Amino acid sequence: MEKLAQRALLVDFYGPLLTEKQRNVWDLHYQQDLSLTEIAEVENISRQAIHDLLKRTERILSEYEDKLGLVERFWTERKKLMDVQTMLQGLSKADFSNPEVYKRYQSISVMIQDVFANIWEL
């Protein structure tokens, strides 16, 4: 996975565990695309301190993932869900002899689509 996307997921999952300053500097750098110098001016600290804070924050986020594995679990479960969705898309009304089973199939398909929509709101 692309490093920037990995960082974004780490902050989505573990951001609330960071300090306010860590979250703020991370947001300024990675979300608002400010340079280290610009952030240093905003925070009234040295550029090196901002660099160190970002590196420390990235290490902390990686350590959370190493211990808790939420991002990895998210991708694993998402892949399973995509596989189920693909299997369901291969079915048609003609594949069902019982109308009730077809209705359940349609309900399951809608629920999976809802789960995917909610996943991308993270």
What pLDDT was estimated at residue 117?
A: 81
How is the chain split into domains, by residue range? Answer: 3-68, 72-119
What pLDDT was estimated at residue 105?
A: 87
pTM confidence score: 0.75
What pLDDT was estimated at residue 91?
A: 81
| Residue ranges in the chain whose pLDDT is less than 50 | none
DSSP the chain: --HHHHHHHHHHHHGGGS-HHHHHHHIIIIIS---HHHHHHHHTS-HHHHHHHHHHHHHHHHHHHHHH-HHHHHHHHHHHHHHHHHHHHT--GGG-SSHHHHHHHHHHHHHHHHHHHHHTT-
CATH architecture designation of domain 3-68 = Orthogonal Bundle (1.10)
pLDDT in tens, 49-69: 999 999 999 999 999 999 999
